[in-house]
Amino acid sequence: MKENYTGKPANRVDGHAKVTGTAKYAAEFDAPNLVHGVVVNSAIAKGRIKSIDTSEALALEGVLEVFTHENRPGYTWLDKHYQDEDSPPGSPFRPLNSDKILFSMQPIALVVAETFELARYAALLVKVEYEREPHSTDFEANISNAYKPKKYKSTPPPDPRGDAEQAFAAAELQLEEVYSHTAQHHNPIEMHASIAIWQEDGSLIIYDKIQGVQNSQEYISNAFGVPKEKVQVYSPFVGGAFGSGLRPQYQLFLAVLAARELKRPVKVVLTRQQMFSFGHRPTTAQRIAMGASPDGKLQAIQHNAFGETSTFEDYNEDVVIWPGVLYHCDNVQVSHQLVSLDVYTPLDMRAPGGTTGTFALEIAIDEMAYKAGLDPLEFRLKNYTDTDYNEGKPFSSKELKECYRQGAERFGWANRKMAPRSMKKGHQLIGWGMAHGGWEAKQKEAAAKAVLSPEGKLEVSCATADIGTGTYTVMTQIAAETMGLPIEDVSFKLGDSSLPKSPLEGGSWTVSSVGSAVKQVCEKLQEELLKVAQKNGHEIFKDAKPEEISFANGRMFLSEAPAQSVPLLEVLALNEGKPLEAEVSAKPAKEQQKYSSYSHSATFAEVQVDEDLGTVKVTRLVSAIAGGKIINPKTARSQILGGTVWGIGCALEEHTVMDNHLGRFINHDLDKYHLPVNADIPETDVIFVEEKDEIVNPLGAKGLGEIGIVSVAPAIANAVFHATGKRIRRLPITLDMLM
């Protein structure tokens, strides 16, 4: 009988390496004669460098060089080549390109020395004089200058349907409010780091903290004019990224520049403070105007978003697609405009656009439910949709109603009293809130290679990443099950740019994309085994076709005659002692184009709010998820728990404060940038609702990285309203808003 590994909990295959410290992250690799680089950042937000004096730093014994815009070597800087795979429209930032300062903490020099301590000290000795120009970092003050970008990084806002303005004006129930949040930063545990090793033949070996080694490879190849085959990038383990590692960050460029010039391996590791100098979830304000009939049917939705971007790139997200995905409404108009500021370009951050757009929409839906006098869950059911109105397509599968049912039952939603401030325990006001969300289930093209050794050991490889999500493990499970091999005889290799092509590890598409390639390459390997058997006159398989063969327990057999099985080792022995290899590139099936595919969530939250102090504590959470086939329930649950923790942070704690006088984020460390800790996290139930989807990809899996966060913050905000009667429309919700 065949061993089924998918759909069952499995320990991480890389777990032992991680807990014993043998798993190496970018900064932990070494090379002979390795030297260290420390970045010097600008003290102003806009202007130019009048002079930069590096003499004191260079006078120190052991300091090898200080690279600035004045002495940088020439390299290729062409927009059409330089943009990386995750670049938004515009002109990407070029480190050390000129004397111009575009944002606070811009890298303006790299000090390279024999030791890290010496480089760090020498960096303090670099003297810079600036010519300041007035900077503009105040989002609210500049919102009147918002503009529609010529080109969108993500999906362009959907076209209007019906007449939302007229329908809103005619609606008996009306809501018009603004929902906003400030910037948020990723703060993964592993700092961004790169080691660049220059080889005598002009090639480069690079260790980089990145969510896509081939993106770093392409970036360096184009920026420096080096043939791609001479750039090899490794990133076997990533200590968290959440989107901050989608684009190559400036430490990679600086490490490569120094290594090429000095002909020495160079390591550059950014500090926690420097981690705040590139990319963040953008400050966003959203105006929602919603109209409904007295019985609670949505008649109009206008969703207009304003998000910050830099002066050199037009960054935008899918903030306003959600009314068309999540609800039935015949009159919808949406827009997304940008506010250009003197900051670094924002960056994708877990569920970009989804976390932001769903937060506003789901609070507005809760508000409208109260205007209609309906339970928030009943209101959502009344406006349920089986169609993605943005695309005009049915969903490939949608078990959201079952998420509602199971989540509400587990939470005890039926016992909820409708009126705000109606549930209390001593001085604590009790609030129950809920929200739902979606995240697109995409499959992207990905390739994989499989090698089956004469000893029956299978290695499958792809240049994808594992950012802590369990990629190593689920790919091993898929390969072992498909080939009918014991899981201990299967290994998966990733994080090497020379491996088969992979999309970036993000967007919740890795299992769907790379997993499909792994399944297909194993199926191709099975065809190769059949050819070997037939070529060598194996009677059992003489006239068999590939679809008539099955594999289980390390054996090969005709599906209709499992008793006549042959060990794979016996078939492999017929291949003259050589391994069998196969390689495929898996693409989405054309059938997928007829459907819209999304994972869905329903989150139920309980909060306690101190009646006197306004402090908020989340005391209970239930998250019901419809995510197609769950390949590994153990790592899948961890993904949803991680998203839930982050959702609590979004709702109650996380925000980066901009000092507009300085044009700089001032809480740029873990002392002042507040994150949830263990004591903030309540008992959390995760429910995976059974969902079969034969359209979304060959595995039927939808991806879970993003769906765990999108509906958490609005569920908590709605619970706070239920507890206090105060509707908070700005995140994070802090006690001063409730006192």
Residue 144 placed within a domain? no
Average pLDDT, integer, range 652-676? 96
pLDDT tier at 538, thresholds 50, 70, 90: confident
| Cβ 135 vs Cβ 106: under 8 Å | no
Q: Is 532 helix (H, G, I), strand (E, B) or coil?
A: helix
- Residues sharing a CB contact under 8 Å with residue 547, sequence separation 6 or more, in sequence order: none
Give the separation between CA 45 and CA 48, rounded to whole angstroms: 10
For the chain, give the mean pLDDT: 96
Of 235, 250, 271, which residue sits at a domain end? 271
The dihedral through the CA atoms of 57, 58, 64, 66 has a sign that is: positive
Query: Is residue 706 annotated as a catalytic residue, yes or no?
Result: yes
**pLDDT value at 79 more than 60:** no
Indicate whether 262 and 313 sit together in one domain.
Answer: no
Closest CA to 125 of 70, 59, 56: 56
Residue 383 placed within a domain? yes
Query: Residue 25: what residue type?
Result: Y
The secondary structure element, H or E, covering residue 447 is strand 446-452
Residue 185 placed within a domain? no
Catalytic residue selected from 399, 440, 653, 706: 706
Of 561, 587, 613, which residue sits at a domain end? 587
The CA-atom distances, in angstroms, between 640 and each of 602, 621, 643 are 12, 12, 5
**What string of H, E and C letters represents the secondary structure of 189-212?**
CCCCEEEEEECCCCCEEEEECCCC
Give the separation between CA 252 and CA 210, rounded to whole angstroms: 10
Average pLDDT, integer, range 460-489? 97
**pLDDT single digits (tens) 93-110:** 999 999 999 999 999 999
**pLDDT value at 179 more than 90:** yes
Indicate whether 521 and 628 sit together in one domain.
Answer: no
Give the separation between CA 698 and CA 482, rounded to whole angstroms: 12
**Structure tokens of 650?**
């979004």
- Residues sharing a CB contact under 8 Å with residue 535, sequence separation 6 or more, in sequence order: 574
Return the pLDDT at 74: 74
**What string of H, E and C letters represents the secondary structure of 124-169?**
HCCEEEEEECCCCCCHHHHHHHCECCCCCCCCCCCCCECCHHHHHH
The dihedral through the CA atoms of 218, 460, 510, 646 has a sign that is: negative
pLDDT tier at 78, thresholds 50, 70, 90: low
Q: Is 550 helix (H, G, I), strand (E, B) or coil?
A: strand
Please give the angle made by the CA atoms of 723, 725 and 726, to the nearest 5 degrees: 110
Residue 297 placed within a domain? yes
Please tell me what DSSP assigns to residue 248.
Answer: P
Closest CA to 514 of 601, 447, 579: 447
Span between the terminal Cα atoms of the chain, in Å:
63
Give the separation between CA 681 and CA 563, rounded to whole angstroms: 53
Q: Is 382 helix (H, G, I), strand (E, B) or coil?
A: helix
Indicate whether 262 and 287 sit together in one domain.
Answer: no
**pLDDT value at 1 more than 60:** no
Residue 148 placed within a domain? no
| Cβ 52 vs Cβ 44: under 8 Å | no
Indicate whether 291 and 427 sit together in one domain.
Answer: yes
Return the pLDDT at 81: 62
Residue 192 placed within a domain? no
Q: In the chain, pLDDT over 90 holds for what percent of residues?
A: 95
Indicate whether 690 and 672 sit together in one domain.
Answer: yes
CATH code of the domain in which 567 resides: 3.30.365.10
pLDDT tier at 568, thresholds 50, 70, 90: very high
**Structure tokens of 434?**
């809920």
| Cβ 303 vs Cβ 288: under 8 Å | yes
**Structure tokens of 673?**
């940038």
Indicate whether 573 and 426 sit together in one domain.
Answer: no
Per the DSSP assignment, residues forming a β-bridge with 66 are 111
| Cβ 266 vs Cβ 27: under 8 Å | no
pLDDT tier at 116, thresholds 50, 70, 90: very high
| Cβ 731 vs Cβ 666: under 8 Å | no
Q: Which one is predicted more confidently, 576 or 237?
A: 237
**pLDDT single digits (tens) 540-550:** 898 899 999 99
| Cβ 359 vs Cβ 294: under 8 Å | no
Q: Is 220 helix (H, G, I), strand (E, B) or coil?
A: helix
Average pLDDT, integer, range 455-461? 98
**Structure tokens of 504?**
């970036």
Average pLDDT, integer, range 353-359? 98
**Structure tokens of 26?**
């970018």
The CA-atom distances, in angstroms, between 375 and each of 102, 291, 326, 713 are 49, 17, 18, 19
**Structure tokens of 334?**
């949406």
**pLDDT single digits (tens) 418-435:** 999 999 999 999 999 999
Closest CA to 302 of 404, 167, 418, 210: 167
**Structure tokens of 729?**
């429309």
- Domain extent, residue 478, equals 15-22+444-587
Residue 190 placed within a domain? no
Indicate whether 448 and 437 sit together in one domain.
Answer: no
Where would I find the beta strands (DSSP E) of 270-331? 284-292, 298-309
Per the DSSP assignment, residues forming a β-bridge with 594 are none
Of 217, 238, 271, which residue sits at a domain end? 271
| Cβ 260 vs Cβ 226: under 8 Å | no
Residue count (the chain) = 739
Pair type for strands 580-586 and 598-610: unpaired
pTM metric for this prediction = 0.97
Q: Look at the chain and report how many structural domains it folds into.
A: 3
Q: Where are the alpha helices (DSSP H) in 383-445?
A: 400-411
Q: Where are the alpha helices (DSSP H) in 415-496?
A: 471-483
- Residues sharing a CB contact under 8 Å with residue 398, sequence separation 6 or more, in sequence order: 386, 598, 600, 626
Return the pLDDT at 546: 94
Residue 176 placed within a domain? no
Indicate whether 76 and 221 sit together in one domain.
Answer: yes
- DSSP one-letter string for 619-680: EEEEEEEE-BS-S-HHHHHHHHHHHHHHHHHHHHT--PPEETTTTEES--STTTS----GGG
Preceding peptide of 732 cis, ω within 30°: yes
The CA-atom distances, in angstroms, between 148 and each of 86, 163, 407, 433 are 20, 21, 39, 35
The secondary structure element, H or E, covering residue 616 is strand 616-626
pLDDT tier at 176, thresholds 50, 70, 90: very high
pLDDT tier at 75, thresholds 50, 70, 90: low
**pLDDT single digits (tens) 264-281:** 999 999 999 999 999 999
Give the separation between CA 478 and CA 631, rounded to whole angstroms: 8
Closest CA to 654 of 317, 280, 269, 402: 280
**pLDDT single digits (tens) 20-50:** 999 999 999 999 999 999 999 999 999 999 9
Return the pLDDT at 333: 98
Indicate whether 100 and 127 sit together in one domain.
Answer: yes
Return the pLDDT at 108: 98
Query: Residue 396: what residue type?
Result: S
Indicate whether 606 and 727 sit together in one domain.
Answer: yes
Please tell me what DSSP assigns to residue 358.
Answer: H
Indicate whether 644 and 657 sit together in one domain.
Answer: yes
Give the separation between CA 393 and CA 383, rounded to whole angstroms: 17
Give the separation between CA 355 and CA 357, rounded to whole angstroms: 6
The secondary structure element, H or E, covering residue 57 is helix 55-58
Indicate whether 288 and 400 sit together in one domain.
Answer: yes
